[in-house]
Amino acid sequence: MTIDFKALTTPEIQNYLQHAIAPRPICFASTIDKAGNVNLSPFSFFNLFSSNPPIVIFSPARRVRNNTTKHTLENVSEVAEVVINIVDYDMVQQTSLASCEYERDINEFTKAGFTEEKATLVSPPMVKESKIKLECKVKEIKALGTEGGAGNLVICEVLVMHVDDGILDEN
């Protein structure tokens, strides 16, 4: 079967690609705006791209239905810092709650039942329940388009990583 993307709608293209490129790790990004409002949102468009310098990239896409942007993208444009909290199985249900759309002043930590933990180098808080947390400085935001479904690459340099001692062994 050959699938010509020129003949498909954006949701159809997204559906094919999300199922073809799997599994994907989940980036649970905590950000903060210049007024101090915290945002927490999961992204499956996420991965490691370099170890020297240590670079991770996630992509908050423009909403297909109304071509608007997410609070996460707006926040990293205002305050160029993010904590990427890695989601494990025990966090999946609560993480799903944080993916709902809320007004800007609503704290998804509270809505999803997660605990804010002060980061050591950046302003956004960490998710205490996450076993791996990456404090990052946003180096660049690269818009890939202006229409609904267009990604925005948030290129982040990892400054420090926190790992729960319980998941490490002597090696």
Specify which residues 48 forms β-bridges with. 56
Residues contacting 61, CB < 8 A, separation 6+: 45, 149, 150, 151, 152
For domain 26-163, give its CATH number from 3.10.310.10, 3.30.930.10, 2.30.110.10, 3.30.499.10: 2.30.110.10
Specify which residues 32 forms β-bridges with. 38
Encoded tokens for 90: 């025990």
Q: How far apart are the C-alpha atoms of 162 and 111, rounded to whole Å?
A: 24
Domain spans in the chain, listed from the N-terminal domain onward? 26-163
What digits encode the pLDDT tens for the residues 93-139? 888 888 878 877 888 899 899 999 999 999 999 999 999 999 999 99
Strand ranges (DSSP E) for the chain? Answer: 27-32, 38-43, 46-51, 54-58, 81-86, 116-117, 126-127, 132-143, 152-163
Q: How far apart are the C-alpha atoms of 7 and 2, rounded to whole Å?
A: 12
> At 144, is the secondary structure helix, strand, or coil?
coil
Give me the pLDDT at residue 70, please.
Answer: 87
Contact between residue 157 and residue 53 where contact means Cβ atoms under 8 Å apart: yes
Q: Which of 35, 114, 134 is nearest to 78 (CA)?
A: 35
Confidence (pTM): 0.89
Digits of tens for pLDDT over the chain (171 positions)? 899 999 999 889 988 988 888 788 888 999 999 999 999 999 999 999 999 999 999 999 887 788 778 899 999 999 999 999 999 999 988 888 888 788 778 888 998 999 999 999 999 999 999 999 999 999 999 999 998 888 999 999 999 999 999 998 877
> At 98, is the secondary structure helix, strand, or coil?
helix
Q: Which of 19, 50, 43, 25 is nearest to 151 (CA)?
A: 43
